[in-house]
Amino acid sequence: MFQIDRITSPEALADLLERGRRSMPGGVCSSTRWNRAWGRPVYARRAYGARFEDVEGREFLDMSMSHGASLLGHAPAALKAAFDAAWELGVMTSLDTPLHIELAERLCRIVPCGERVRFTGSGSEATLHALRLCRAASGRDKIIRFRGHFHGYHEFTYIGGHPPADQLAARPPHRESAGIPAAMAELVIPLEYNDPQALEDAVRRHREEAGTILIEPVDYNCGCILPAPGFLESARELADRYGMLLFFDEIQSFAKNSPGGAQQDFGVTPDICTIGKSLGGSLPLSAILGRAELMDRYAPVGDVAHSGTFNAPLLCILGGLVFTAEIERPEFWQTMQRLGARLYAELDDIAKRSPLPVRFQHHGSRFGIIFGTREPVTNYRQSLCHSKETMLRFCREASERGVYFHDYGGAACHHGYSLAHTEADIDTVLEVVDAAML
Ligand SMILES: Cc1ncc(COP(=O)(O)O)c(C=O)c1O
């Protein structure tokens, strides 16, 4: 009934692309799914383990893995039990169960800042609702954020993150989509990452109106920029000194290097964080975690609204139980570290001998590719050397050789492997990366 037939002629493919264009803007359900390297949408037929097949029947070794959401692989065996159980239990939307409590308890055990949890679907929803809470609790509307970091597509945060080179100092900051009101941009104070002096100056200057310091602690959304030693600590100290809330957006960094995310990796505990992507084991599940008295500002205990018909459907909670059970097994981390060690050592060699200046930066199971430099990239300004054209050519060349890197419009973003990748897969990826450096 739900079979997707393989397309066998150029005419049939052209017809499908046309049907897509006519029924969905650009033929896609997410603007960034229109693949600039391919010059068209990527339509998939099925996915399994570390691979997917497109509608033409071409198989790709997947180095996107749903942008990090499919960390257990596509269709991991353990998830089948969740689908069966949800059906048996009644699928259940808009009803909480003891299993919701079990997952919340587990997350409080795993994530250092977690004393209470609220679930959302997407990461964008999570950051939106968390920022509303931060504004209510701090009593101050402005947020301090960092260029190169990404926190979702909504009006609170799609501002000042990735401005063009001539807009770095724009006031109010650059809005990243048409339709975002100029008034929203007045509420955002973007800074360069890893510059403690700039942060201290901004915190002092804006202490009356800014109540939140929002950080993507590992900046995967700019080619994987790590926090400089001491930077997160100084953010923690400044937040405490000026009565601000420290908010780590760990939608991506959760469970990429350790179960507890960057706050575990770098030993700095925020007041509040968001986690997501892989949390649902490929199903849409994100969460807000934080200190008890802060989280209890949410109604019905407090006065901050957070509700939704599709908050925490049971199936996604079961996906979360499957995923968290996996990351509590030491063998999960041994496998991920073994794969990473093999991949990153060899990528560094490729970078050394590549005719193109390129740099690979990594943290846990995800890494960035930055074309245009061989030097460490520590902030957004430095990342502007990245060549989008080279990146798109690289993605095209790699996919022609059977390895899929998502194009991100050519931006330096993030790629990664999953539990389903084997050492042989990593070797294939390395061969293709080497060959695609044209
Ligand atoms: C750090 C971070 N925050 C928020 C988001 C938004 O999450 P979603 O795409 O689930 O809305 C992303 C997605 O890439 C992200 O990487």
- Report the pLDDT value the prediction gives residue 438, as an integer from 0 to 100: 84
> Do 285 and 406 share a domain, yes or no?
no
Q: Is residue 357 part of a domain?
A: no
Q: What is the dihedral of CA 438, 363, 328, 101, to 10 degrees?
A: -100
Q: Which atom of ligand 1 is nearest to the CA of 220?
A: 16
**173 near 166, Cβ under 8 Å?**
no
**248 near 217, Cβ under 8 Å?**
yes
Structure tokens at 387: 């060549």
> Do 94 and 229 share a domain, yes or no?
yes
Q: Which residues' Cβ are closer than 6 Å to ligand 1?
A: 67, 122-124, 127, 150-152, 216, 221, 249, 251-252, 276
Read off the pLDDT of residues 32-83 as tens digits, 9 standing for 90 and up.
999 999 999 999 999 999 999 999 999 999 999 999 999 999 999 999 999 9
Q: Is residue 51 part of a domain?
A: no
Alpha-carbon gap, residue 214 to 144, rounded angstroms: 6
Structure tokens at 231: 């930077």
**123 CA from centroid of ligand 1 (Å):** 5
* Structural domain range at position 391: 385-415
Peptide bond into 376 cis (omega under 30): no
**Nearest CA residue ID for atom 9, ligand 1:** 123
Find all residues with CB under 8 Å of 243, minimum gap 6, and list them. Answer: 138, 207, 211
Q: Is residue 41 part of a domain?
A: no
> Do 292 and 389 share a domain, yes or no?
no
- Report the pLDDT value the prediction gives residue 1, as an integer from 0 to 100: 82
First to last CA, the chain: 44
Rg over alpha carbons for the chain, rounded to the nearest Å, is 21
Find all residues with CB under 8 Å of 30, minimum gap 6, and list them. Answer: none
Alpha-carbon gap, residue 72 to 323, rounded angstroms: 8
Token pair 């897969």: residue: 425
Alpha-carbon gap, residue 220 to 395, rounded angstroms: 18
> Do 405 and 288 share a domain, yes or no?
no
Q: Is residue 14 part of a domain?
A: no
> Do 267 and 393 share a domain, yes or no?
no
**152 CA from centroid of ligand 1 (Å):** 5
Q: Is residue 282 part of a domain?
A: yes
> Do 398 and 253 share a domain, yes or no?
no
Alpha-carbon gap, residue 436 to 127, rounded angstroms: 36
Find all residues with CB under 8 Å of 18, minimum gap 6, and list them. Answer: none
Alpha-carbon gap, residue 137 to 114, rounded angstroms: 17
Distance of CA 22 to the CA centre of its chain: 30
> Do 272 and 397 share a domain, yes or no?
no
The closest of 42, 31, 37 to 158, measured between CA atoms, is 31
Residue at a domain's end among 302, 327, 352: 327
Q: Is residue 21 part of a domain?
A: no
Q: Give the total number of structural domains in the chain.
A: 2
- Report the pLDDT value the prediction gives residue 409, as an integer from 0 to 100: 96
Q: Which atom of ligand 1 is nearest to the CA of 286?
A: 10
> Do 99 and 202 share a domain, yes or no?
yes
User: Which segments in the chain show pLDDT lower than 70?
Assistant: none
CATH number at residue 192: 3.40.640.10
Read off the pLDDT of residues 382-423 as tens digits, 9 standing for 90 and up.
999 999 999 999 999 999 999 999 999 999 999 999 999 999
Q: Is residue 436 part of a domain?
A: no
Q: Is residue 190 part of a domain?
A: yes
**407 near 392, Cβ under 8 Å?**
yes
> Do 196 and 106 share a domain, yes or no?
yes
